[in-house]
Structure 1
Amino acid sequence: MSETALILWLRRDLRLGDQPMLAAAVASGRPVVPVFILDPETEAIGAAPTWRLGLSVAAFAKALEGLGVRLVLRRGPALEVLRALVAETGAGGVWWSRLYDPASVARDTAVKAALKGDGVEARSFAGHLLHEPWEVETGTGGFYRVFTPYWKATRGLGVAAPEPAPKALRGVERWPASDRLEDWSLGAAMNRGASVVLSYQAVGEAAARAKLSAFLDGPVARYSEMRDYPGVAGTSRLSENLTYGEIGIREVWHAGLRARDEGRAGAESFLRELAWREFSYHLMHHTPQITSANWRPEWDSFPWRGDSEAAERWRRGMTGEPFVDAAMREMYVTGTMHNRARMIAGSYLTKHLLTHWKVGLDWFADCLTDWDPAANAMGWQWVAGSGPDAAPYFRVFNPAGQAEKFDKDARYRRRFVAELSKSPGPEALAFFEAVPRSWRLRPDQSYPKPVVDLAAGRAAALAAYGARNA
């Protein structure tokens, strides 16, 4: 088998270091054929993450070239493409790193069974998480439904040290044909928004590592206090890089541990947030319905509203609530949204507007360059009240109160909402360049009146909750 090629099916593991699959391939001594497949499951993701994925694929292809191998690009159903590549290269194995969302699990299970039936070695590896979702169990052998006990159970678990990046890779003598990335037009659905969002992306392994280093050299010291303030640079902003696997989670974890051991005050809180990401995957594995249905089935009877004119105002960042609108506009300008702002925007949609959380989940899935299937699902259900949250439904975030607490000087709101300033800055104006022309938004228009009175919206939400439990 040492001379039989390995096909390495890359997905959300676009890095060289801390890559268990790649390290095992190097250790095997076998020639490798790295491949990225644009299959129906991948094409189903939203406009912004598809565009951002293309940037990551391009960066990783260059990294592989530096090690003497190519990244083969193919389009089509994964099993068909892999079988064709096995026939073309004589490969004896197909390896990949695991994914955990329902669509990927179904695809990968079918691919593994079919390849094994063909007599081809089919092997999956860890690499996207610190712990596989089935490895963490309660004392009775079940899964965790609440985060705090999960965190207590996992914070002391050992995490293997990340493997170093290989200095060279062994390729095949004859490379199979490859598509051209530009022919896939992965950014087509972004339209003019791509040029606005591009400057905010930190693409590739080197950029991700530099971002981590900068965070641990400075902001981590006050992370516990400052992570909730969207107007300051208080977070790592690594979500986009972890989403596409441009940096390994084990590398990030061990860097956080070192910072904690060196006495940097906020490092423990940072590690806790990494565990929150893990918890979302833990839940998605054990309760995959979290991505598409109420995690708590008793919420199926709740009178959620569907899409509406009010929800459209929310989508366009024109609700008349500056904190909510700033959050939405940040997403269109930068591709991401501060976590505190996500909570406020989500609470406003699901509670003040009584709109089904899936309306928001689907919109974020289309617009966030750091979209993550597990984090997006758990975040929306958490804020809506239908998900894994120990707090009761009647916790309704007041956007005005939240702004007073976390954006007292209005720095964040003025940064992204042009109508709040006589001389708006470039990012506030960029919003009007990024959004669809069909919205016909202009920076010289009047700021809209609120969609709903905040007190009345909260009262309506609580009344609906009370009626459901009557």
Structure 2
Amino acid sequence: MTPLILWFRRDLRLDDNPMLAAAVETGRPLIPVFIADKSVLHLGAAARWRLGEAVAGFAKRLRSVGAPLILRRGDALAQLMALRAETGAGGIWWSRLYDPDAIARDAEIKSAFKADGLEVQSFASHTLVEPWQVATKAGGFFKVYTPFWKALDARGVASPLPAPKRLTIMQALPGSENLDQWHLGAAMNRGALILARYAQIGEEAALTRLERFLNGPIDLYREGRDFPAKEAVSGLSENLTYGEISARRIWHSALAFEASQPGHAGAVHFRKELAWRDFAHHLMFHSKHILTENWRPEWHGFAWRGDSDEAETWRRAMTGEPLVDAGLRELYVTGTMHNRVRMVVASYLTKHLLTHWKIGLDWFADCLTDWDPASNAMGWQWVAGCGPDAAPYFRIFNPATQADKFDKTKAYRHKFIAELNRKPGPEALAFFEAVPRAWGLRPDQPYPQPMIDLRDGRARALNAYQTRELQEN
């Protein structure tokens, strides 16, 4: 009955939290902890701000079941060892993460605690299934999404667990740091106030978001999810990132919806998107180089362009291509970007501008509140053509035709681009409130001319790809 340290990371919820449910079953006194180690402090500006908000929301949620959240900052191993010395805890539990840095950190901590004769346990929590639980018939990992989806769907997903109503907490808890003094949103400057208007923070908000989606937008999801002006998506990626809701809870809620309306196309496609997220983690676990280099080795010799004035113009959402700029402005204002537009924005940078996908990946990592290392890397490499299950190199999204097809009324572009409106709305104006003053951008300035002719950019990209193929042959 020694106390048990529960180290929360990306599982900031009570509902369907296997670690927490198992800990409550033991009857042992619990010590809930969150540590701001380098995995937190090195996050991009928007993700670090949003994580701070998630921690604050989770602390409030824990208090509702009688438990404070102990906050510590610094090296995770050192902080956990200090907590163990302060409390006499007999063990430490956490929920698993699958990126290489987290795996290495957790292995070191596990080894150190076990060497001291202490109990260490980790739990599945962040994905539908664990990356090694779905395998090909030969026992390897999947490199193509469709067979992965079929295998996962056939395997099934464990049922979610209910939230505990009360926690048994160690009576003399150790001291806690003050979250406000961590200044996790400092790098956002004035942009934090803008993001706060659009973020839906915490477990209760996430569950409400899911319920709202199932009560309406899911009917439009299969077709409507490609139209950025339509209310056809769930918006839950933000909450999934911080574990404010579990993928299993979402999956089984969609399954229950399907049971009430058999064969509902929206619900099936919604589950496929959840499986796509798992596929990204599956690939990251089995081929960690996806985060840092071309997944396909035949692309290693391709002459990507590095950072440049053109890339900076892209970052500032001033390319002169309205759909591209609208997406990048949505990113800066809301911390997210519609998925269809993400593909167009990424294609424009990597193909029309022939710029290395890592330039875009790093910008998204700094600006996304739903940033996820696996999904971000797989998405960029998929569009660039160098990743697993990638779009073929000759698939080059044309921003103009994509806009005509998926934003025919221009509602999305007008929502985020002030210069195209006589009376711009709040989202369009918020971009100029959020950007650094040093950029010198104003809503009353003329909208820029296109920085590159789309036909010329496409021809240049195709020529570069064909040259690469000739060199390989």
**TM-score (normalised: structure 1):** 0.99
Residue in 1 aligned with 2:222?
Answer: 224
Q: Which amino acid aligns with 1:23?
A: A
Give matches, 1:9-24, under 5 Å.
9-24=7-22
Residue in 1 aligned with 2:397?
Answer: 397
Bigger drift between 259-268 and 311-320 goes to 259-268
Residue in 2 aligned with 1:112?
Answer: 110
Q: Which amino acid aligns with 2:155?
A: L
C-alpha contact (below 8 Å) 1:417/1:428 kept by paired residues = yes
Residue deviations 1:247-293 (CA, integer Å, cap 9, x gap):
01111000010111221431000011100000000000000110111
* 1:50 lines up with 2:48 in the alignment: yes
Q: Which amino acid aligns with 2:416?
A: F
Matching residue within 188, 191, 213 for 1:190: 188
Q: Which amino acid aligns with 1:148?
A: T
Shift of 1:10: 0.5
Give matches, 1:49-448, under 5 Å.
49-263=47-261, 264-448=264-448
Aligned equivalents of 2:6, 2:395: Cα separation in 1: 47
Tell me, what secondary structure is at the counterpart of 2:197?
A: helix
Aligned equivalents of 1:71, 1:289: Cα separation in 2: 35
Q: Which amino acid aligns with 1:369?
A: T
Q: Which amino acid aligns with 1:282?
A: H
C-alpha contact (below 8 Å) 2:73/2:79 kept by paired residues = yes
Shift of 1:389: 2.3
Q: Which amino acid aligns with 1:83?
A: M
C-alpha contact (below 8 Å) 2:382/2:391 kept by paired residues = no
Aligned equivalents of 1:391, 1:15: Cα separation in 2: 36
Aligned equivalents of 2:433, 2:208: Cα separation in 1: 29
Q: Which amino acid aligns with 2:384?
A: A
Q: Which amino acid aligns with 1:345?
A: V
Q: State percent identity of aligned pairs.
A: 63
Tell me, what secondary structure is at the counterpart of 2:304?
A: coil
Shift of 1:423: 1.4
C-alpha contact (below 8 Å) 2:16/2:161 kept by paired residues = yes
Residue deviations 1:156-196 (CA, integer Å, cap 9, x gap):
22222111110100011111011000000000000000111
Bigger drift between 60-69 and 286-295 goes to 60-69
Residue deviations 1:375-422 (CA, integer Å, cap 9, x gap):
001000000001012542110000001000000000000000111111
Q: Which amino acid aligns with 1:150?
A: F
- Figure out how many residues of one structure are paired with residues of the other and give that number: 468
Aligned equivalents of 1:60, 1:42: Cα separation in 2: 16
C-alpha contact (below 8 Å) 1:47/1:189 kept by paired residues = yes
Aligned equivalents of 1:404, 1:229: Cα separation in 2: 11
Tell me, what secondary structure is at the counterpart of 2:94?
A: strand
Residue in 1 aligned with 2:27?
Answer: 29
Bigger drift between 59-68 and 256-265 goes to 256-265
Q: Which amino acid aligns with 2:270?
A: F
C-alpha contact (below 8 Å) 2:384/2:391 kept by paired residues = no
Aligned equivalents of 2:389, 2:162: Cα separation in 1: 38
C-alpha contact (below 8 Å) 1:45/1:366 kept by paired residues = yes
Off by >4 Å, runs of 4+ in structure 1: none
Aligned equivalents of 1:345, 1:133: Cα separation in 2: 29
Q: Which amino acid aligns with 1:329?
A: R
C-alpha contact (below 8 Å) 1:222/1:265 kept by paired residues = no
| Cα separation, partners in 2 of 1:128 and 1:365, compared to 1, 3 Å | same
Residue deviations 1:26-81 (CA, integer Å, cap 9, x gap):
00111110100000122111000000000000011011111111100000100000
Q: Which amino acid aligns with 2:63?
A: E
C-alpha contact (below 8 Å) 1:415/1:428 kept by paired residues = yes
Shift of 1:144: 0.3
Aligned equivalents of 2:392, 2:181: Cα separation in 1: 49
C-alpha contact (below 8 Å) 2:7/2:94 kept by paired residues = yes
Structure 2 gap ranges (5+): none
Tell me, what secondary structure is at the counterpart of 2:6?
A: strand
Residue in 2 aligned with 1:7?
Answer: 5
Aligned equivalents of 1:432, 1:93: Cα separation in 2: 50
Shift of 1:426: 1.4
C-alpha contact (below 8 Å) 1:323/1:403 kept by paired residues = yes
C-alpha contact (below 8 Å) 2:382/2:390 kept by paired residues = no
Aligned equivalents of 1:334, 1:273: Cα separation in 2: 21
Aligned equivalents of 2:391, 2:45: Cα separation in 1: 33
C-alpha contact (below 8 Å) 2:383/2:390 kept by paired residues = no
C-alpha contact (below 8 Å) 2:2/2:90 kept by paired residues = yes
Q: Which amino acid aligns with 2:396?
A: V
